[in-house]
Amino acid sequence: MFLLHIVTLNWPPTLSSACGMAAVWQQVLAVDDFEEDPRAQGARGHRRSVSRGSYQLQAQMNRAVYDERPPGSLVPTSVAEASRAMAGDTTLSENYAFAGMHHIFDQHVDSAVPRLQFANDDKHLLACCSLDGTLSIMTLSPPPPSVKVTLKGHGGPVTDFAWSLSNDIIVSTSLDGTLRIWNTEDGRCIREVRDPESSELLCCTFQPMNNNLTVVGNSKHHLQVVNISTGKKVKGGSSKLTGRVLSLSFDAPGKILWAGDDRGSIFSFLFDMATGKLTKAKRLVVSEGSSICSISARSWISREARDPSLLVNACVNKLLLYRVVDNEGTLQLKRSFPIQHGSQLVHSIFCPLMSFRQGACVVTGSEDGCVYFFDVERNTKAIVNKLQGHGGPVLDVSFNCDESLLASADSTGMVIIWRREQK
């Protein structure tokens, strides 16, 4: 049986503290060794789990009956039989039952892994970044799972990264004040773009309709659109927030950008596709002084689920789900879910196939070392599943394209690949 070590940690401290961003990101974690677990023995790098037990939450969730959804509901109504057939005739609790751990990567142990992400439309390729200053690209097939290439070159902790649409390029940000563009096949650094203010770079995202453009957020409260083909900033593509820029997300068409800072505000910007210009539109104060660690946008294309939404982690011990109510990115709170989240840079995601299923699921990390699945339409008992196995706060989660595997990363540097039960 897998031994769960829950350790009280303090990484990072509150982002408004006087210790500065470098200390926030670089604080070393003191965690228990996993010496009692036989999987901890041997060479560091990657280990196959021997666990065969189920990690699904034990709850009375068999065949929950879903009523007809009202107009504007986040999820498809019960008339969407054809769409739901693509995901299978199962409830959310059945669909997100996990058989256990598929693999454990530990090449970054002793340095936190703040971000990880499967490649676009890929089942077996994923990447993560680490406070040790490197990024790893990992492959799960052909077996055994392995580290394909390590991206080395940053002179400080790596804070964020993003895959290009074709997965041939990764961009990354670091406390060393640089944006780097990497070739994902051989790990070569194609270009280094230094922040003009010499400030720490904290987050980045591709423009979804034009992958030549990347938006970067820094510790001096600034957003900047960068042309990665030339390495130059885009004229008119800059703006300022009220605090350090920690999170970014575009809507699917790339017309609205949301940015969150460490003062508790989410800003929406209108993005001019022709020029790359940013125009500040709306501001929402989620909670004064609370860091907006994660923003994920989701748009719906089916008539049964026509409610654009924003998923937010904001250090208020809740996961927040907002409705996008207009074309300027105005937000209206729809639901909140209790999680343990007061100071860490915790992230969450929408499940990639949720628009084809009756019921809608989101997944989040938590400071208690668990991964939580929530049905966003349940008024009671919203927890669909809970995965346990990390030895520190879970900072990020990512599904592969068909939801057969889930990856999670924590503050101890561990990356766990979870295998969904086969139906």
Q: What is the pLDDT of residues 54-84, one digit of tens each?
A: 333 323 333 332 333 444 455 554 444 544 5
Indicate whether 8 pLDDT > 50.
Answer: no
Residue 421's pLDDT band (cuts 50, 70, 90): confident
The pLDDT tens digits of the residues spanning 231-266 come to 999 999 999 999 999 999 999 999 999 999 999 999
Residue 80 in domain: yes
**Where in the sequence is the domain holding 356, given as residue range(s)?**
49-109+293-423
Q: How far apart are CA 373 and CA 386, in angstroms?
A: 6
The tally of domains found in the chain comes to: 1
Count each helix (H run) and each strand (E run) in the chain, helices first: 3, 29
Residue 87 in domain: yes
Residue 264 in domain: no
Residue 400 in domain: yes
Which of 205, 195, 211, 210 lies closest to 260 in space, CA to CA? 205
The pLDDT tens digits of the residues spanning 303-346 come to 345 689 999 999 999 999 999 999 999 999 999 999 999 999 99
Residue 160 in domain: no
The pLDDT tens digits of the residues spanning 382-405 come to 999 999 999 999 999 999 999 999
Number of CB atoms found within 10 A of residue 9's CB: 21
Q: Is the dihedral of CA 76, 78, 79, 84 positive or negative?
A: positive
Q: Is the dihedral of CA 34, 36, 37, 40 positive or negative?
A: positive
Indicate whether 123 pLDDT > 90.
Answer: yes
Residue 24 in domain: no
Residue 257 in domain: no
Q: Is the dihedral of CA 275, 280, 286, 288 positive or negative?
A: positive
Where do the DSSP E strands lie in 92-145?
Answer: 98-105, 115-118, 125-129, 135-139
Residue 168 in domain: no
Q: In the prediction, which pLDDT does 359 show?
A: 67
Q: In the prediction, which pLDDT does 36 show?
A: 36
Q: In the prediction, which pLDDT does 306 show?
A: 65
